[in-house]
Amino acid sequence: MSFQLDTGICQRINSATPNEDELFGHSHTLQVLSLKKVGKQQENTNLPSDRYRIVLSDGAHFLQAMLATQLNDMVVEEHLKRYTVVCVERLSCNYVQEKRLIIIMALRILGQEDKKIGEPVPIDTNTTHSEAPTPAPEKPLRQPTAQSTSNSNASTPSASRPPQRGNWHPIEGLSPYQNNWTIKARVTQKSELKSYSNARGEGKVFNVTFMDETGEIRATAFNAIADNLYPKLEEGKVYYVSKGKVNLAKKKFSNVQNDFEITLEAKSEIEECLETSNLPMIKYSFVTLQELQDLPKDSTCDVIGILKDYGDVSEITSRATSRTMKKRELTLVDKSGFSVRLTLWGNQAENFSPDEQNPVIAFKGVKVGDYGGRSLGMVASATMTQNPDIPESHALRGWYDSAGSESTFQSHSNANGSFTGSGGAGFNRAELKPLLEMKLEANRIPDSDEKPVYFSTRATVMHIRSENIAYPACETCNKKVVEEGDSWRCDKCDKILSRPTYRYIMSFAVSDHTGQAWFHGFNDVGNTLFGKSANEITEIKDSDDAQYNLILAKACCKSYNFLLRAKRDSYNDNNRIRYGVSRILPLNYKEENEAC
């Protein structure tokens, strides 16, 4: 098959100015003469991604360009190689350190030739780079020095000095080796303005995510610069951004898919752009709620679902910092038939209000957890959008209104598939295992595996250890307190208590028709078994042994449904499986009968 190349187009591209949108957005048939990797991805993920230099020919001349990273797969999978004929559908022309840079943004493969078409020659025969000459163009027009230096602080530049249309840099082309760049990008996420304190002192910080058609990048501002820029940047709006410092990205603080990030400085310039065409709002890569079980803990993902239910704002105390945090839990469902619990934190939890009953909500960059089964949590870089105008949202809305509202949904477990919420959160009668089968499965947990495995079972309490049935705890943090004379001291909270609050810590034997096992439980378990608080039981234990033993005896010979958390641990140099009770549920005989 013979191909007709667009003769003369290389010269036109080489001499074009950056704002010739018609030329750069039009399709051109060209041939690949060579491909060369100019950056190598190492195991260290802080290093930049592979970049490919491509030489294109129109049959008469050839020119050099860079291949956009989203097209790398074509090279890796060898669809794009030497002598491939392509239809270049979109180009970008930028200046990097006053040198022209052509970037191939989109192309389509037409076919493969065995040899070079025509006898292409360099556009500029005087250049020293014979492989792919790129003569330096005239420098873009600049405003007088007085105007360009009139704004030394990070702020909106003068309206008389807007960046030239088309003369901006693609986000994916940013690197620490460039100083003079301007990006045109939409703010897709903006964090809260937070205060921090460390060994170097106190300060303020916030970050935003900028996105254009080539990719996204995270930008951070500190202290006075953060105070100045925070009210000027709004989610959803488009800005010209320049004169920031490009550094290697700190991956542990961001889930943005870019090897670099921007630090906004005092000299940084930001101007709102009213021409917002061809810039995406947010790029999603959704996974279904069912697919969450295949994702590793602490990874991030994008999900979209129907808000089935949401709780009130509550407060918890962080174990790491002892600070009080506000949280709110949402329940999401989707067409996969699964539900998941998603946690909002801080101001987002307090200010959350659904736009309508059961809205569609899209989340970008939420964190995957495994507490009590698969769960999701918002992080600083995550975004939440109600009823987004995207095809996935419209499809989900139609499904829920027509049939989904009457469906039942499964929640996730770390093992054994999924567990429905019938009869209690996390327990599923369909997954009941006899004690012997459960123990055989648990014994197959590798010694090196630190992840728990969850089981549902039904068993009868046969014996409760009477020693150390409760411990003295701090009423604030629930940690064990130490008696000092007539008072009690909490080392964690660093305070003195007049009396402790007792909490259950129990070991008890259970059995069924296949065998016996020892379970371990905490406060909720004791409250269910005895119907009394640990304070009451401790008082009876200290004052009346006979009544205490009678209470223990009455708690035995009763059957319960259990959700168990099985995990390997070591005790006195013995490796064993420990069965912790995550849920204990008294039998509901009506539900048990209906389940038969």
Predicted confidence (pLDDT) per residue in 437-457, tens digit: 999 988 887 776 667 788 889
Determine the average pLDDT of the residues in 183-189: 88
Domain count, the chain: 4
Question: Do 248 and 325 share a domain, yes or no?
Answer: no
Supply the pLDDT for residue 224: 92
Q: Residue 459's pLDDT band (boundaries 50, 70, 90)?
A: very high
Sign, Cα dihedral of 181, 184, 189, 190: positive
Determine the average pLDDT of the residues in 539-555: 94
Per-residue tokens: 583: 């849920």
In a domain, 235, yes or no: yes
In this structure, the number of other CB atoms found within 10 A of the CB of residue 107 comes to 24
Q: With beta carbons less than 8 A apart as the criterion, state whether 323 and 492 touch.
A: no
Q: With beta carbons less than 8 A apart as the criterion, state whether 534 and 548 touch.
A: no
In a domain, 262, yes or no: yes
pLDDT tens digits, one per residue of 327-362? 898 999 999 888 898 999 888 888 898 888 899 999
In a domain, 530, yes or no: yes
Supply the pLDDT for residue 283: 75
- Point out the domain boundary residue: 122, 140, 157: 122
Question: Do 461 and 332 share a domain, yes or no?
Answer: no
In a domain, 163, yes or no: no
Question: Do 88 and 180 share a domain, yes or no?
Answer: no
Question: Do 389 and 431 share a domain, yes or no?
Answer: no
Determine the average pLDDT of the residues in 381-393: 87
Supply the pLDDT for residue 41: 44
Map residue 437 onto helix, strand or coil. Answer: helix
In a domain, 130, yes or no: no
Of 464, 443, 425, the residue nearest 561 (C-alpha) = 425
Q: With beta carbons less than 8 A apart as the criterion, state whether 58 and 9 touch.
A: yes
Of 179, 161, 159, the residue nearest 169 (C-alpha) = 179
Question: Do 115 and 187 share a domain, yes or no?
Answer: no
Supply the pLDDT for residue 365: 85
Per-residue tokens: 148: 């360009």
Instruction: Report which listed range, 197-211, 275-289, 417-431, 529-543, is most confident.
Output: 529-543
In a domain, 27, yes or no: yes
Question: Do 301 and 371 share a domain, yes or no?
Answer: yes
Question: Do 435 and 352 share a domain, yes or no?
Answer: no
Question: Do 544 and 439 share a domain, yes or no?
Answer: yes
pLDDT tens digits, one per residue of 466-497? 988 999 988 777 788 999 888 999 887 788 88
Residue that is written with structure tokens 């269910």 in the block? 528
Question: Do 370 and 427 share a domain, yes or no?
Answer: no
The alpha helices in 433-576, defined as continuous H runs, are: 435-442, 523-530, 534-543, 545-555
Q: With beta carbons less than 8 A apart as the criterion, state whether 220 and 211 touch.
A: no
CA dist., res. 513 & res. 353, Å (int): 50
Burial 537-558 (b: 16+ CB within 10 A, else e): bbebbeeeeeebeebbeebeee
Residue percentage of the chain with pLDDT more than 90 = 29
In a domain, 497, yes or no: no
Supply the pLDDT for residue 428: 67
Tell whether the model's pLDDT for residue 270 goes beyond 80.
yes
pLDDT tens digits, one per residue of 71-122? 888 888 888 999 999 999 888 776 655 567 788 888 889 899 988 998 888 8
- Point out the domain boundary residue: 122, 137, 159: 122
Q: Residue 318's pLDDT band (boundaries 50, 70, 90)?
A: low
Supply the pLDDT for residue 46: 36
Supply the pLDDT for residue 450: 66
Instruction: Report which listed range, 35-39, 373-377, 511-515, is most confident.
Output: 511-515
Higher pLDDT, 146 or 457: 457
Arithmetic mean of pLDDT over the chain: 80
Supply the pLDDT for residue 126: 47
The CATH number given to whatever domain includes residue 317 is: 2.40.50.140
Cα–Cα–Cα angle for 291, 296, 302, rounded to 5 degrees: 50
The arrangement of strands across the sheet holding 495-497 comes to 482-484, 487-490, 495-497
Question: Do 100 and 69 share a domain, yes or no?
Answer: yes
Residue 212: partners with Cβ closer than 8 Å, 6 or more residues away: 170, 171, 183, 184, 185, 186, 279, 280
User: Strands (DSSP E) along 213-334, which ranges?
Assistant: 215-222, 238-242, 245-248, 260-263, 269-273, 300-310, 314-317, 324-333
Question: Do 266 and 397 share a domain, yes or no?
Answer: no
Higher pLDDT, 151 or 210: 210
- Point out the domain boundary residue: 247, 273, 299: 273
Question: Do 296 and 263 share a domain, yes or no?
Answer: no
Residue 2: partners with Cβ closer than 8 Å, 6 or more residues away: none
Q: Residue 162's pLDDT band (boundaries 50, 70, 90)?
A: very low
DSSP string, 344-374: EEHHHHHH---SSSS-EEEEEEEEEE-TTSS
Please give the backbone phi and psi of residue 150, each rounded to the nearest 5 degrees, phi first: -75, -10
Higher pLDDT, 125 or 364: 364
Supply the pLDDT for residue 91: 83
Please give the backbone phi and psi of residue 55, each rounded to the nearest 5 degrees, phi first: -110, 125
Per-residue tokens: 117: 């078409």
Determine the average pLDDT of the residues in 281-300: 83
Range of the domain at 546: 423-469+505-595
Residue that is written with structure tokens 């379970």 in the block? 519
Rounded to two decimals, the pTM is: 0.43
In a domain, 157, yes or no: no
